[in-house]
Amino acid sequence: MKAPSFAYTKPGSIGEVFDLLDRHGDEAKLLAGGQSLLATLNMRLSSPALLIDIGNLPGLSGVTMSGGRLRIGALTTHRTLECSPEIAAHAPLLAQAAPHIAHVAIRNLGTIGGSIALADPAAEWPACCVALDAEFILSARGAERRVKAREFFRGLYDTALGRAELLTAIEVPVLGPDYRSCFLELARRHGDYAITGIAAVARVRDRQLSDVRLAFLGVGSVPVLARGAMAAVEGKAMGPDRVAAAQAALAADLDPVADLTNSAATKLHLSRVLLGRALAALAG
Amino acid sequence: MDHGIETTIIVNGTATTRRIAPRTHLIDFLREELGLTGSHIGCEHGVCGACTVRVDGRIVRGCLMLAVQANGCKVDTIEGLSDSGELAPLQRAFHEHNALQCGFCTPGMLLAAQDLLHHKPQANREEIRTHLSGNYCRCTGYHAIVDAVEEVLASRRAGAAK
Amino acid sequence: MNARAELPLHAPNTKTDRGYIGKSEPRPNAKRLLQGRGTYVDDLRFPRLAHVVFFRSPYAHARIKRLDLSKAASQPGVVAVFDGRAVARYCTPWVGVLGHLNGIKSPPQHAIAIERACWQGEAVAAIVAESRTQAEDALQHVEAEWEELPVVTDMEAALAGEPVIHPDLGDNICFSRELVTPGFDDVWKTADLVVEETFEFGRHTGVCLEGRSILADYNVAEHTLTVYHSTQAPHMMQDIFSRHLDIPESNVRVICKDVGGSFGIKVHVYPDEMATAAISVMLRRPVKFVADRLESFLTDIHAREHKATVRLACTKEGDILAFDLDDLTAIGPYSVYPRTSGIEGNQVVNLTGGPYKHQQYRAKLNVVFTNKNVTCQYRAVGHPIAVALTEGIVDLAAQKLGMDPAEFRRRNLIADDAYPYTFPSGIKFEKLSHHQCLDKLLALMDYKGLRAEQAALRKKGVYRGIGLAAMIEVTNPSPAFYGVGGARISAQDGATLRLDPTGMINVLCSVTEQGQGTEGIFAQIAASVLGVTMDRVRLLTGDTGVTPYGGGTWASRGAGIGGEAVLQAGKALRSNILDVAAAILNEDKALLDIVNNEVIDKLTRASKLTLTELGRIAYFRPDTLPMKFQSELTVTRHYTPREYGFVFTNGIQASLVEVDIETGFVKLLKHWCVEDCGTVINPMLVDEQIRGGIVQGIGAALFEECLYSAEGQLMNGSMADYLVPMAGEMPDIVVGHVETPTKTSELGAKGAGEAGTAGAPGAVSNAINDALAPLNARVTAQPFTPERILQALGKA
């Protein structure tokens, strides 16, 4: 399966990227890690005229801390995040999620920015960013804006990213020491796309959860913040009744889409199971 | 539209400059242009791991990397890593445990196993399986591969302990 | 009581030394593969090599209204374009039927479809270009108009003829068979208990990591065709290329380089491969085709789509009286050539109930055409179905009677001293060891301990299951398998052994290698028989121009048949070498032996002459030997299995699983297999074949299914969506051996290549149902996806 023909360019600055995007519009695609794009090209599912390789743009990679927020460059690889001491310390949810992303060889090249911009419904990072109430920094020529993760994902492969914009960084608020996180995913085989997954974060005191965030992946076209389930446990002590209430509320929060081997009902059921397990893990 | 782009890649220690069509993935470049046929194509969509090579010290799917992206990079293939001897302990263990049959997955499997030796020298059997979970083998059923890797890890730990 | 084979490797009255037989020698030919220095077909380089790709039908059933290749023909790098009619002038069609499958029918199939495509992915045009990339680019410029025809994908609809795919044939029944033993009805009426279950098996496929590959090189000056082919049966292909391309047989040479996995996928005739060979003839230049992964899912043979109802009748004490089988299986729109797509179902009929001593049997089989990809023999052909049906219904009967499944089996397995034995389906067993294997398995796995642990864990809400699967397996087939039906598929094989001037041994054998270790075991046998060290032996297989004529690798015949040919040739060569030695030394041959690359005095063990020296003299200084003496240091022997239709092996497997009853996910904790394949030449290679086969069977049980829409579109034809077993989910697999050598050969080796796959689905199926038993849930449709398990539990 050989890719169709395309031109390739590797701009040295973000300004050049904007020039290219202006000039070529829809005919051009950005190449970051390429772990999704190149597979679709090999299968001839898309034929861009030009690939703009942003892989080596300076300043877009790395993890820094500033003012209680973690700033993750969009070109930071999954593997870097997986192995980062800062991430482990200040955003452990991401460290829990990273090993679920495909396999090491993919994680060595794939980037968090690429994953978020593509917004595959089964991707791990979007749900994590929603759970962490992260903010995305979108750069255009001479301008920069911030969009909350919770507003960024609009539909199937559809985000708030404008045509002439580049996702340049992800900012994650660092949560206090009494916060716990739990990432769980159900996949048929290690590294497969998730059937369903949950990114769960809460402040925990004596088995009581507050500031609860429960974001699901793989159950719709976008990550879903399960507000009904969250409300059912917010500020409450954990126990079997609480968990059951949250699981019941999930039916209103989620409207799962069936896949080849899992009906919508199965996905809802599995989501409930993961919810129960995540809440138990958070409560300790 | 498909003008070749001048690209220099250090393949198995030798700087190699060619004009490469952008759409050529790294494995096709290695196999067709350089005749390094030890890296194999199994799916061309990044799932089977047969194309695993090492770029700047990290294992990657060669089918999901354009050759032009590897400009300025060091690429190590099964041939180079065999000749340098770096893979010798794993190759010996694979041989003795019959951790290969048809051999098609083997170069990729060895590269992935070698990566494990670097990054997880204390790996147990389950962790070995997890690290190799992206490399498809249809012939062996994986058990012998895990045995071989486990043996090399153990002998390294024993050697380091001395 | 099975003694290890006393192989007569040396002259009578000497100490029998088995040499390398029974030793786990690493394979010499694995070294190149470990360095990425093997040669697979896609690695070959030829001057003027052209690449062919195929324009494939996007519809499951459609008439080709218009096909315009002219724009494609003018694309950069394109050498030629062909439709079905053009290729048909060079390649005649074929029909996948055999005489011994009574009533089997199938329409003719062309290398490239003419007028009508009958499955999504069927090739309807060929584009040849200077590179694969250019050929794929040109494909985008093919213009085609189609008239969609009614599609039948459901096997029951196919059976009912709704609609009939080939009107000329009258219905969609490719093959059907019925058999019933004379006492069946009586026994059925008097049984205390009848249990019944309907099992479903999802169609799945081989997924060899190396795609199907062929490079055909026609030389017009000589009217010769050399084909480098990733195939298991080069001589069969030689015959087929010869007959269908009208090239004299000996002008066709088929060469197998390294083959990246086969498992039966690569023993069939594929239209796109035949087209590739024809195109080489048409263009008078080498042409290569390698199926990419998406094509492979669409066109590599699929297998094992069955819906079968099985019933078992027994006494209340637990004696099985009879099995009753009704099997419906869906194949593609053509029966595959030349082995036919009726064999798999036929095997299910032959083998259901196999390990047990009941006398009565009734079976009904229908094999129906559908508009999905073609199906044919894939590792363990029919056995996985037969074993899963048999072992599933046996477990159900045991459950109903409140008997332990192992004890129920013990009561019913054919006794180890009951042989030779004729089974109700007509197959004959030479000698099996069911009870010995059962005992060994139960000890190996600590069955009692596992049952105790299972009971304890159940109280804590942890659901573990133990599943057993006893099996018989077809190996070393005689001409009864294919030859009697008219197929030019050889059931015999030959080996040529040669002593080279420096004393090294060359072995040429018609059995082929795809990684299982054929060449390794032949080296072990040759070295053992000849008294040389293994490092002195060189192998060549897979070249019809060089090796003796034979059948190749399929039906677990390589070790047993090829191995025996090597053994016999080795014995003969040894004798000839000693003749030369006797002539050189002027001594009585009977006083000499060969050990460690040297001719020695049998009694004193003193070295008399190295083989290196013997070779020098025989080849370069025959003037020093007696006038009438002629050295014959190249010997060929053939071997044909004759006494039995198949030399059956037996084994038994066990699976230990834990079912997460909330998610329906199954964790495979461990797997065991005790296998009796007769003389074991290399235990490590047998273990690896068993393990690999087991994992393939696990794939079928838990992960793999080719999913088609009602319109006949394959919905999961990529590695992301078709789930093959990967290392993370597989268990450790413990293998034990029992050896009951076959007396049909001196070597005594039976086959082992498919046993793992034969038993694993049944073992896993039974384990899952054992885990779910306390919850009154049962699953019967493979693959056992989490959803299916949740549905059985009433949770989804």
Rg (CA), chain C: 28
In this prediction the ipTM stands at 0.98
Cis, bond preceding A121 (omega within 30 deg of 0): no
* Token digits of residue B57: 């010290």
Handedness of CA A108, A109, A114, A120 (dihedral sign): negative
Angstrom distance (rounded) from CA C378 to CA B87: 35
Mean pLDDT of C551-559: 95
Contact A42 B25 (CB under 8 A): yes
**B44/B107 same-domain check:** no
Sorted by sequence, the CB contacts under 8 Å of residue C160 that are 6+ apart come out as none
**B66/B133 same-domain check:** no
Give the pLDDT confidence of C353-363 residue by residue, as tens digits. 999 999 999 99
Contact A7 B1 (CB under 8 A): yes
Residue of B nearest to A101 (CA): B134
* pLDDT for C317: 97
Count Cα atoms within 13 angstroms, Cβ side, for C538: 9
> At residue C11, does pLDDT exceed 50?
no
Mean pLDDT of C684-700: 98
**B76/B135 same-domain check:** no
Angstrom distance (rounded) from CA B75 to CA C698: 36
Q: Is C193 helix (H, G, I), strand (E, B) or coil?
A: strand
Residue of A nearest to C705 (CA): A261
A108 close to B60: Cβ distance less than 8 angstroms: yes
**Closest by Cα among C87, C131, C139, C135 to C110:** C87
* pLDDT band, very low/low/confident/very high, at C755 (cuts 50, 70, 90): very high
Task: Tell me the chain B residues in contact with residue C521 when contact means C-beta distances shorter than 8 Å.
Answer: none
Task: Tell me the chain A residues in contact with residue B134 when contact means C-beta distances shorter than 8 Å.
Answer: 102-106, 191
Q: Judged by CB atoms within 8 Å, which residues 82-121 of B form the interface with C?
A: 82, 91, 94-98, 100-107, 110
* pLDDT for C17: 72
Residues found in chain C? 796
Contact B66 A106 (CB under 8 A): no
* pLDDT for B92: 98
C-alpha to C-alpha distances, C433 to C187, C410, C413, nearest whole angstrom = 27, 12, 9
**B128/B144 same-domain check:** yes
Angstrom distance (rounded) from CA C682 to CA C659: 36
Contact B79 C43 (CB under 8 A): no
For residues B59, B62, B63, B64, the Cα torsion angle rounded to the nearest 10 degrees is 60
**B111/B47 same-domain check:** no
Give the pLDDT confidence of B9-27 residue by residue, as tens digits. 999 999 999 999 999 999 9
> At residue C5, does pLDDT exceed 60?
no
Angstrom distance (rounded) from CA A198 to CA A187: 12
Task: Tell me the chain C residues in contact with residue A195 when contact means C-beta distances shorter than 8 Å.
Answer: 786
CB count in 10 Å sphere of residue C65: 10
Looking at residue B65, which CATH number applies to its domain? 3.10.20.30
**B152/B107 same-domain check:** yes
Angstrom distance (rounded) from CA C381 to CA C385: 9
A154 has a chain C CB within 8 A of its CB: no
Task: Tell me the chain A residues in contact with residue B68 when contact means C-beta distances shorter than 8 Å.
Answer: 8, 10, 53
Give the pLDDT confidence of B35-82 residue by residue, as tens digits. 999 999 999 999 999 999 999 999 999 999 999 999 999 999 999 999
Degrees, nearest 5: CA angle C381-C762-C296 = 45
Sorted by sequence, the CB contacts under 8 Å of residue A76 that are 6+ apart come out as A61, A62, A63, A111, A112, A113
**B56/B97 same-domain check:** no
Q: Judged by CB atoms within 8 Å, which residues 82-101 of B form the interface with A?
A: none
A67 close to A89: Cβ distance less than 8 angstroms: no
Query: Which of A1, A190, A273 has its CB closest to that of C294?
Result: A1
* pLDDT for C9: 54
Alpha carbon distance, N-terminus to C-terminus of chain A: 49
Pairing mode of beta strands C634-639, C493-499 = antiparallel
* pLDDT for C16: 56
* Token digits of residue C214: 């062929």
Mean pLDDT of C744-766: 97
pLDDT along chain A (284 residues), means of 10: 97 96 95 97 97 95 94 98 97 98 98 97 98 98 96 97 95 96 98 97 95 97 98 94 96 95 97 98 93
C-alpha to C-alpha distances, B18 to B30, B68, B77, C76, C77, nearest whole angstrom = 11, 10, 18, 22, 21
> At residue C659, does pLDDT exceed 70?
yes
Angstrom distance (rounded) from CA A188 to CA A206: 35
A261 has a chain C CB within 8 A of its CB: yes
Question: What angle, 0 to 180 degrees and rounded to 10, lies between the N-to-C axes of helices C405-412 and C434-445?
Answer: 160
Q: Judged by CB atoms within 8 Å, which residues 122-151 of B form the interface with C?
A: 125, 128-130, 132-146
The DSSP string of C258-307 is B----TTGGGS--HHHHHHHHHHHHHTS-EEEE--HHHHHHHS-EE--EE
Give the pLDDT confidence of C220-237 residue by residue, as tens digits. 999 999 999 999 999 999
Query: Which of B106, B136, B140 has its CB closest to that of C726?
Result: B136
- Distance from the Cα of A140 to chain C's closest Cα (Å) equals 35
**Closest by Cα among A66, A72, A117 to A93:** A72
State which H helix or E strand residue C155 sits in: helix C155-159
Give the pLDDT confidence of C379-405 residue by residue, as tens digits. 999 999 999 999 999 999 999 999 999
> At residue C100, does pLDDT exceed 80?
yes
Residue A64, beta-bridge partner list: A71
* pLDDT for C512: 97
Query: Which of C37, C262, C695 has its CB closest to that of B141?
Result: C695
Task: Tell me the chain B residues in contact with residue A35 when contact means C-beta distances shorter than 8 Å.
Answer: 46, 61, 64
Task: Tell me the chain A residues in contact with residue C706 when contact means C-beta distances shorter than 8 Å.
Answer: none
* pLDDT for C656: 98
The DSSP string of C80-119 is EEEEHHHHHTTS--B----TTSTT-----B-SS--SEE-S
* pLDDT for A66: 87
Q: Give all domains of chain C, ordered by start, each with its CATH number.
A: 30-38+492-639 (3.30.365.10), 41-149+207-299 (3.90.1170.50), 302-479+643-792 (3.30.365.10)
Q: Is C620 helix (H, G, I), strand (E, B) or coil?
A: helix
Task: Tell me the chain C residues in contact with residue B86 when contact means C-beta distances shorter than 8 Å.
Answer: none
Give the pLDDT confidence of C249-308 residue by residue, as tens digits. 999 999 999 999 999 999 999 999 999 999 999 999 999 999 999 999 999 999 999 999
B25 has a chain A CB within 8 A of its CB: yes
Mean pLDDT of C90-98: 98
Pairing mode of beta strands C592-595, C732-738 = unpaired
- Distance from the Cα of C720 to chain A's closest Cα (Å) equals 7
**B75/B14 same-domain check:** yes
Degrees, nearest 5: CA angle A27-A105-A115 = 45
* Token digits of residue C539: 């192998």
Angstrom distance (rounded) from CA A182 to CA A92: 9
Looking at residue B147, which CATH number applies to its domain? 1.10.150.120
**B78/B95 same-domain check:** no
Give the pLDDT confidence of C15-61 residue by residue, as tens digits. 557 899 999 999 999 999 999 999 999 999 999 999 999 999 999 99
**Closest by Cα among C740, C700, C766, C188 to C433:** C740
- Domain residue limits at B75: 5-82
**B60/B101 same-domain check:** no
* pLDDT band, very low/low/confident/very high, at C13 (cuts 50, 70, 90): very low
* Average pLDDT along chain C: 96
**B94/B61 same-domain check:** no
Q: What is the pTM of this model?
A: 0.97
Angstrom distance (rounded) from CA C355 to CA C383: 12
Q: B39, B60, B82: which is the final residue of a domain? A: B82
* pLDDT for C7: 56
> At residue B160, does pLDDT exceed 90?
no
Handedness of CA C481, C484, C489, C495 (dihedral sign): positive
> Which stretches within chain A are classed as H helix?
14-24, 37-42, 78-83, 85-90, 92-97, 104-107, 112-118, 124-132, 149-152, 227-233, 240-253, 264-283
Task: Tell me the chain A residues in contact with residue B23 when contact means C-beta distances shorter than 8 Å.
Answer: 2-6, 41
Pairing mode of beta strands C320-330, C360-368 = parallel
Angstrom distance (rounded) from CA C269 to CA C253: 16
Degrees, nearest 5: CA angle C420-C422-C428 = 75
Task: Tell me the chain A residues in contact with residue B46 when contact means C-beta distances shorter than 8 Å.
Answer: 35, 38-39, 102, 106
Owner of token pair 């495909």 = A102
Angstrom distance (rounded) from CA C777 to CA C765: 13
Q: Judged by CB atoms within 8 Å, which residues 187-216 of A form the interface with C?
A: 188-193, 195
Angstrom distance (rounded) from CA C590 to CA C162: 74
Q: Is C763 helix (H, G, I), strand (E, B) or coil?
A: helix
* pLDDT for A284: 86
C378 close to C385: Cβ distance less than 8 angstroms: no
B125 close to B142: Cβ distance less than 8 angstroms: no
Q: B32, B47, B82: which is the final residue of a domain? A: B82
* pLDDT for B2: 52
Q: B82, B97, B124: which is the final residue of a domain? A: B82
Sorted by sequence, the CB contacts under 8 Å of residue C185 that are 6+ apart come out as none
C551 close to C236: Cβ distance less than 8 angstroms: yes
Angstrom distance (rounded) from CA C219 to CA C298: 32
**B77/B93 same-domain check:** no
Give the pLDDT confidence of C169-200 residue by residue, as tens digits. 999 999 999 999 999 999 999 999 999 999 99
Angstrom distance (rounded) from CA C345 to CA C349: 6
Return the percentage of chain C with pLDDT > 70, whole number. 98
How many structural domains does chain B have?
2
Angstrom distance (rounded) from CA A225 to CA C470: 50
Q: Is C668 helix (H, G, I), strand (E, B) or coil?
A: strand
CB count in 10 Å sphere of residue C711: 13
Mean pLDDT of C343-352: 98
What strand order describes the sheet that includes A69-73?
Answer: A63-66, A69-73, A166-173, A135-140, A143-148
